[in-house]
Structure 1
Amino acid sequence: MTVPPLLRVPPFPGRKPAIPVSDPPPPFVPEGAERAFLFEKFRQARVGGDFWLPPALLSRPAGAVFRPRSLADVRMLLPLARKAESESVLWATHDAALLRLLAEMGAGRALGMADVDPWSVLCGASVLYAHGDDEWAALARIAGLQVEILSPGPYGDPGDGADTLGARAAAALAQPMADPFGEGWLTMPQTAALLADWRRVIDANRGNTGETIVAACGIAWWKRAEIRRFLWTPGQRLRIVSSPRRAVAVAARAGGALAIWPSRVSPALLAAAHDKGVPLVRVEDGFVRSVGLGSNLVPPSSIIVDRRGIHFDPSGPSALEDILAGAEFSEELLGRARALAQTILSAGISKYAAGRGDTALPQRKGGRCIVLVPGQVEDDMSVLAGGGGLTSNLELLRRVRAREPEAEIWWRPHPDVDAGHRLGTVPDEQALRHADRIMRGGSMAALLDHVDAVHVLTSLTGFEALMRGREVVCHGTPFYAGWGLTRDLAPVPDRRGRRLDIDQLVAGVLILYPRYLDPVTGLPCPPETLVARMARDSAVNRQGWIGPLRRWQGRLMTRVRKLGSTA
């Protein structure tokens, strides 16, 4: 009989099925130590089968799990169940009539299994009784359970021992899965890693205590399609609500969490959520965001989802701080971080762009040290929260000149400010009182490759400079300050006492903390996929028609501000 593959893609909304251009490779069924190693990877990741379904809410783990399909199965298994403590027995079936009968018998707990994550039942159990065509038999063997087969099927026959059932489970894992982001096929370790990433995202949307993200507020209209994909939870519709009062009420009624965009919500919403006991989840742009500016209404391909706080606010802890302060960075993870950083550097990728451009950079004057000072949006949340009271781009420039009197200082205005969309303009004549050059246009990556040091307030440019081995001086307290890699002029929280190297910082900041969305398939993806799309210029903006309109609007606003300043 035909059975669905054991390893499969969750039903993400709007996903495009993979279309391989080649036939699948011949299955390789692992044996011995290699099989045990792969079973351990899948067991730790808890993937395979319908792993994305809601967990079973069990008061205590089951010892013996029975999967009856008929009254005859119940009669056969009942003597075994009656010998065990009733609370350790779990009857798991889709049949409503059997559920009622089992509940009346009182020989253990009865649980409907139509929409339940199998791993939430099998983890902690010791034995499974199931039919040979039930994929739970393969998952249970991978999980290390004793498995007893009730009738023959592809996953086992009655009387099969542990080794035979293990071989059947390994054969099920060996069915190759098409690469959802490419045109080839994934190996078993690659499949395990990808499914594990997807599981982490789905579990995070549900929350450790079952506080699923059920509503969102402060989400701009042009980001909503992507945010629905980022925050998708199977079986749960995400309500994106414009009214703060209504958003809190929706989340309170559903008993779930409310996702907010910090720069677009008011203190009144925060107070209302606190009063009603609604957990808040902060959502922000990621660090490798898109090709194109947010101010030009380019939807994000990367976001931050933080239940602890937010990375740009040093006044309180964040999930990123927890990762950087406490994560165990395996050699495998550090290897990924090094390779990812190398790809980013080679392709000239920064937060909003890819490529180095062909702009010729000025030559160094008389061997002087070149210091880059990137401007910021003066009312940006990271500046207000992490600037230590300093918000003025002009004042930042003045301080840098005071500290670097002999350096050649290059001033880089923020593109959103230069485009006329945000606050923070420094007139060129004022900037040139402290800076030697104003560097507009061109690639930030090329600039960072050319300079010796970077002075920042809280700009992400400082992190990008660290990846390139540049000296970074922090006048504020960005998320990358305080870990031993920067010269810090502002106070740093004691929570950041751990010393990190650049590979560990990259692993935490670019792999473990953000989420990524493939702009081609619409699927959650690892950072390597988005970076590769950006490097190949295939990170498509679905709202490209808005860019010219926003640029015209920015020029108009700049002219209006100039007229206002001279009136």
Structure 2
Amino acid sequence: MLGRPFLRIPPFPGATPKHFDRRTGPAADVEAIAAELKRQRVGGGYWGAQPPLPTDYVLAAPNCPPELASRISEGRPIIFFDCEADPWHMLESASALVAEPGDELNLVASLLGCPRVEVDTATDEIRAVTRDLCEMLAQEFGGLFESPFTGEPMDAIEAIQLCGFWRELIDSNRDIVGGLGFAFWKQRHVAPLLWDGGEPFKFLRTSDSVRAGARIAVWRSKVPQETAAELETVGASPIEVEDGFLRSRGLGADCVPPLSITVDRLGAYFDPSRESELELLLEMGTFDEALLERARELRRLIVAAGLGKYDRGQSVLDRPAGERCHILVPGQVEDDRAVVLGGCGLFSNLELLRRVRDRAPHAYILYKPHPDVVAGHRRGAIPSGDCLEYADEIVGDVPISSLIAMVDQVHVNTSLAGFEALLREKPVTTFGVPFYAGWGLTTDLGPVPGRRTAMRSIDELVAATLLLYPRYFDPVTGLPCPPEVVVQRLSEGEEPDAGIVVGLRRFQGKLMRRLRSLVQ
């Protein structure tokens, strides 16, 4: 019997669940469990550090007397296991393990095929191994686990795969030394998604401590130009972090923290001048049927709940112009990086409206200003008189998902609303080059880069964009989670606590709107 559960939840910063609750259930399928544990490399402190190791050594448990380990090592180096280390990493190249019978290292060693020698530290005796792998697995994995997100039962394979999901996230963060440009109100949600399994993630105020070759996560729009130049001078490698595509029921400009982020080592996903990891996924990725089925179900859940990036809407809207073609034109923040980089010279919301009207002179055009602009925080407002020269209607406080459901087409510069329209199978015309342009799903008027040659289905686009690319934070447990959990939370109204910062920011926005109206 091990002293503690073998399969554990990593201690993500700020997360509340520390272990899996268990239920009675069927006996363990030990062969399937062993195969999945080896595939996912989870069990024990699998989030631990991965120090450099020699090629041939004996690993000894930390409480093993050195003289006992020496009797077994036959002159090979002896490494004593550090409880803060990843046991899978430590045992993968070990020639033998020396440990007491109840040590969980025995189970990892057995799964990896590493020879085991059991010792009795009370008597200094070396014993033959008496417990086999099947016996240990049957004892550890009989019954059911409970999901930390829903409390619903999971079988052992599902619990192992969830731990594998966490391991993959942690492993991807091991070379990131810290972050620059992260506002304090985002940090609680972002920290678990960038945690490397050791010390809490470091949010830096300056680049002074960043060394040559270091990988540093950056929220680029909040990093001063001089700081970015300093990173380049020292040879640091910035990793672009941005809001994800299912963000929250609230605005970033109102200081509502995101429930998802994207982390890209190649570049910003909205910059068509260079490759991004998302573009490579769409150009070269393979998507099996299980993943595509999951994408179809996720899309169904999003559409059924009326979810968008910032809001939720399920109301059915009347068509104001009957049988005329209705076109929705979403405005954007005109100095946003997605517009500056992806608009390919088109920055003005008014110019976007003019181009849409030129292409569709008889359509009923609805213009929806960007919520950050409406809130009074960002650039991009159009005087009503100017707007109505090209648009038939300015739409205010109506969820964009409801508008998309009502209209016939959506025309965008680079707005994420175009992606949300594709989820709802609406025709989309792009004037700039958003990430979803160039894959055969949109009418593209912008200069799509020649790198984008693959033709993708909507389900493949969803699989890459919502399942494989972003990272998600569960506001209830504080754990990194699959996107389905965030969709459930947003559908049920679970969202980050607004707090005093959000209240002050919203008051500031109202004041700015009032001042703007007086000037106009």
**What TM-score comes out, normalization by structure 2 length?**
0.91
Structure 1 residues 6-15 or 64-73, which shifts more? Answer: 64-73
1:550 to 494, 497, 505: 505
What is the aligned partner in structure 1 of residue 262 from structure 2?
304
Structure 2 residue identity aligned to 1:123: E
Shift of 1:191: 1.2
Question: 2: distance between equivalents of 1:122 and 1:165?
Answer: 16
Structure 1 residue identity aligned to 2:328: L
Shift of 1:182: 2.4
Question: 1: distance between equivalents of 2:51 and 2:318?
Answer: 63
What is the aligned partner in structure 1 of residue 41 from structure 2?
46
SS at match of 1:454: strand
2:381 to 425, 433, 436: 425
Shift of 1:27: 5.0
Question: 2: distance between equivalents of 1:456 and 1:59?
Answer: 56
Shift of 1:23: 6.4
Shift of 1:319: 1.8
Question: 2: distance between equivalents of 1:387 and 1:19?
Answer: 47
Question: 1: distance between equivalents of 2:334 and 2:227?
Answer: 24
Structure 2 residue identity aligned to 1:502: I
What is the aligned partner in structure 2 of residue 489 from structure 1?
445
Higher helix share: 1
Distance 1:368 1:59, change over 3 A: farther
* Count of residues in correspondence between the two structures: 514
Structure 1 unaligned segments of length 5 or more: list them.
95-112
What is the aligned partner in structure 2 of residue 56 from structure 1?
51
Structure 2 residue identity aligned to 1:523: L
Matches within 5 A, 1:385-404: 385-404=341-360
Question: 1: distance between equivalents of 2:290 and 2:34?
Answer: 18
1:212 paired with 2:171, answer no
SS at match of 2:216: strand
Structure 2 residue identity aligned to 1:158: A
Question: 2: distance between equivalents of 1:13 and 1:329?
Answer: 32
Matches within 5 A, 1:314-325: 314-325=272-283
Shift of 1:124: 5.2
**CA deviation digits over 1:440-495, x for unaligned, max 9?**
21221111111221111111111111111111111111111112211111112233
Structure 2 residue identity aligned to 1:347: A
Structure 2 residue identity aligned to 1:77: I
Question: 2: distance between equivalents of 1:325 and 1:57?
Answer: 35
1:284 paired with 2:252, answer no
2:295 to 326, 337, 341: 337
Shift of 1:122: 3.2
**CA deviation digits over 1:261-309, x for unaligned, max 9?**
1111233222211111222122111110111111211111111122221
- The 8 Å contact of residues 10 and 50 in structure 1, kept in 2 or not, is answered as yes
What is the aligned partner in structure 2 of residue 451 from structure 1?
407
SS at match of 1:354: coil
2:101 to 132, 142, 146: 132
1:229 paired with 2:192, answer yes
1:252 paired with 2:207, answer no
Distance 1:18 1:442, change over 3 A: farther
2:361 to 394, 405, 418: 405
Question: 1: distance between equivalents of 2:301 and 2:281?
Answer: 23
Question: 2: distance between equivalents of 1:481 and 1:429?
Answer: 32
Shift of 1:64: 6.7
Structure 1 residues 461-470 or 319-328, which shifts more? Answer: 319-328
Shift of 1:171: 3.5
- The 8 Å contact of residues 306 and 402 in structure 2, kept in 1 or not, is answered as yes
What is the aligned partner in structure 1 of residue 149 from structure 2?
181
Question: 1: distance between equivalents of 2:101 and 2:388?
Answer: 77
What is the aligned partner in structure 1 of residue 202 from structure 2?
239
Shift of 1:317: 1.5
What is the aligned partner in structure 2 of residue 11 from structure 1?
11
Shift of 1:17: 2.8
What is the aligned partner in structure 1 of residue 124 from structure 2?
none
What is the aligned partner in structure 2 of residue 110 from structure 1?
none
- Name the Cα RMSD after superposition: 2.6
Distance 1:441 1:562, change over 3 A: closer
Shift of 1:66: 5.7
- The 8 Å contact of residues 132 and 151 in structure 1, kept in 2 or not, is answered as yes
1:264 paired with 2:204, answer no
Question: 2: distance between equivalents of 1:333 and 1:59?
Answer: 39
Question: 2: distance between equivalents of 1:56 and 1:556?
Answer: 54
SS at match of 1:495: coil
Question: 1: distance between equivalents of 2:432 and 2:375?
Answer: 25
Distance 1:23 1:240, change over 3 A: closer
Structure 1 residues 191-200 or 469-478, which shifts more? Answer: 191-200
What is the aligned partner in structure 2 of residue 104 from structure 1?
none
What is the aligned partner in structure 1 of residue 171 from structure 2?
203
What is the aligned partner in structure 1 of residue 460 from structure 2?
504
Structure 1 residues 454-463 or 2-11, which shifts more? Answer: 2-11
Question: 2: distance between equivalents of 1:74 and 1:197?
Answer: 35
Shift of 1:170: 4.6
**CA deviation digits over 1:188-229, x for unaligned, max 9?**
2221222122112211221xxxx3332x22222322222333
1:158 paired with 2:122, answer no
Distance 1:7 1:493, change over 3 A: same
What is the aligned partner in structure 1 of residue 417 from structure 2?
461
Shift of 1:26: 2.7
1:92 to 79, 88, 104: 79
Distance 1:326 1:127, change over 3 A: farther
- The 8 Å contact of residues 355 and 535 in structure 1, kept in 2 or not, is answered as no
Structure 1 residue identity aligned to 2:383: P
Structure 1 residues 555-564 or 333-342, which shifts more? Answer: 555-564
1:192 paired with 2:151, answer no
Q: Percent identity?
A: 41
Question: 2: distance between equivalents of 1:564 and 1:149?
Answer: 81
Question: 2: distance between equivalents of 1:265 and 1:71?
Answer: 51
Structure 1 residue identity aligned to 2:256: V
Shift of 1:352: 1.2
Shift of 1:374: 0.6
Shift of 1:230: 2.6
Distance 1:389 1:146, change over 3 A: same
Shift of 1:529: 0.9
1:524 paired with 2:499, answer no
What is the aligned partner in structure 1 of residue 370 from structure 2?
414
- The 8 Å contact of residues 8 and 177 in structure 1, kept in 2 or not, is answered as no
1:116 paired with 2:105, answer no
Question: 1: distance between equivalents of 2:330 and 2:509?
Answer: 20
Question: 2: distance between equivalents of 1:148 and 1:220?
Answer: 49
- The 8 Å contact of residues 305 and 514 in structure 1, kept in 2 or not, is answered as yes
Question: 2: distance between equivalents of 1:45 and 1:292?
Answer: 36
Question: 2: distance between equivalents of 1:17 and 1:558?
Answer: 43
What is the aligned partner in structure 2 of residue 561 from structure 1?
516
